[in-house]
Amino acid sequence: MSAMHARDDVFAAGEPGLAYHAPRDLEEALALLARYGEEAKVLAGGQSLLVFLSQGLIAPAALIGLRRVPGLDGIEERDGGLTIGAMTTQHALESDPTLRTRYPALAEAAQAIATPQVRQRGTLGGNLCHANPTGDPPAALIALGASIEIVNGDGARRVPVQEFFRDYMEPALQPDELLTAVHLPPPVGSAYLKHRIRGVDNAIVGVAAAIALAPDGTCSEARIGLSGAATTPLRAVAAEAVIRGKPLSDDTIQPAAEAAAQECDPLDDTEASADYRREMVAVFVRRALARAAERARQGDTE
């Protein structure tokens, strides 16, 4: 019996007061969501949801498992970019050759998550819907200019990834909606760096940078995503403006790093103070921009 079926049977056997559904297609999953509304929770890899459930932080009437729904898993080249299914595991992201060479920020962010065990089960969609401000993939997706596909019984909509994070651990998702895919535009030079104390920790600060170069070597486009730097994953737009259109050197990267430290509003918690996080934003934005610029120069995205 596979692990998937073993888990399905555990729920089917009946947790008191908790119904478990394993829909066979998207239509059935959406119909269940419409039926239960706020009483249901979608189950992806379970790495965050089951922790909340076991700690009594949530008490849904039903779980709707997505593992048997076809078409939600996998990485596909489309329109010069990539489409990644919501149920693609974090392990699949870190080990995919296309991501590692053309979108290294996302492969590096996936690799920075917790442990191999978590990454084997945890999915990209689940990570985004959990909307933890210290999560790693959100910062990478902001830098890469990703958009998110959201579906309900009436159709689909797409939102830029930074608009998906409405508030602290609150995604812009209605109870009848599913996140089905993430779309990435054509690649540019990118990098993700994570600052943490122990190897399995969440980020004190995580920084992703993406850089495109003009033929004369100046920065034609820059995007910077931050984790641990606000109550939601954050796009550092002021810092991006500092380097856009300029040559990339210490003289331009350092002021951009300082601008990022100014525009963020970091978390202040038991892991790190807001002041320390702000200082680390400057340090890691500088390093991530330098690495992304180096990759853009080497054309590492082809």
| Angle, CA of 221, 83 and 34, to the nearest 5° | 120
> Least distance (Å) from ligand FAD to the CB of residue 5?
17
Tokens read off for 208: 């992703």
Residue with tokens 């909307």: 131
Q: What are phi and psi of 122, to 5 degrees?
A: -65, 140
Q: What are phi and psi of 225, to 5 degrees?
A: -115, 140
User: Which x/- pattern, by CB under 6 A, does the window 74-93 give for ligand FAD?
Assistant: ------------x-------
Among 29, 32, 44, 293, binds ligand FAD (CB under 6 A): 44
| Angle, CA of 266, 203 and 190, to the nearest 5° | 95
What residues between 188 and 217 interact with ligand FAD by CB under 6 A?
202
Q: Any contact of residue 182 with ligand FAD (CB under 6 A)?
A: no
Q: Any contact of residue 73 with ligand FAD (CB under 6 A)?
A: no
Among 21, 29, 30, 47, binds ligand FAD (CB under 6 A): 47
> Least distance (Å) from ligand FAD to the CB of residue 278?
20
For ligand FAD (CB under 6 A), the number of binding residues is 30
Among 21, 29, 45, 140, binds ligand FAD (CB under 6 A): 45
User: Which x/- pattern, by CB under 6 A, does the window 239-278 give for ligand FAD?
Assistant: ----------------------------------------
User: How far apart are the C-alpha atoms of 288 and 205, rounded to whole Å?
Assistant: 12
> Least distance (Å) from ligand FAD to the CB of residue 259?
25
Name the segment binding ligand FAD (CB under 6 A); options: 3-11, 37-45, 93-101, 252-260: 37-45
Half-sphere exposure of 34 (CA within 13 A, CB side): 11
Strand boundaries in 97-244, DSSP class E? 147-152, 155-160, 165-167, 170-171, 178-184, 189-195, 205-213, 219-227, 234-235
User: How far apart are the C-alpha atoms of 288 and 224, rounded to whole Å?
Assistant: 9
Three-class SS state of 127: helix
Q: Are 266 and 278 in contact (CB under 8 A)?
A: yes
Among 30, 32, 107, 113, binds ligand FAD (CB under 6 A): 113
Q: Any contact of residue 42 with ligand FAD (CB under 6 A)?
A: yes
- Cβ-proximal residues to 194 (8 Å cutoff; 6+ apart), any chain: 109, 112, 136, 203, 205, 206, 227
Q: Any contact of residue 125 with ligand FAD (CB under 6 A)?
A: yes
The nearer residue to ligand FAD, 127 or 147, going by C-beta atoms, is 127
Among 122, 145, 189, 266, binds ligand FAD (CB under 6 A): 122
CA 158 to chain centre: 15
Q: Any contact of residue 46 with ligand FAD (CB under 6 A)?
A: yes
Q: Any contact of residue 111 with ligand FAD (CB under 6 A)?
A: no
The nearer residue to ligand FAD, 51 or 61, going by C-beta atoms, is 51
Q: Any contact of residue 139 with ligand FAD (CB under 6 A)?
A: no
Exposed, middle or buried, 117 (CB in 10 Å: 0-12/13-18/19+)? exposed
| Residues of the shown chain interacting with ligand FAD in the complex, contacts defined by CB under 6 A | 41-49, 51, 66, 86, 113-114, 118, 121-123, 125-127, 129-130, 135-137, 173, 178-179, 202
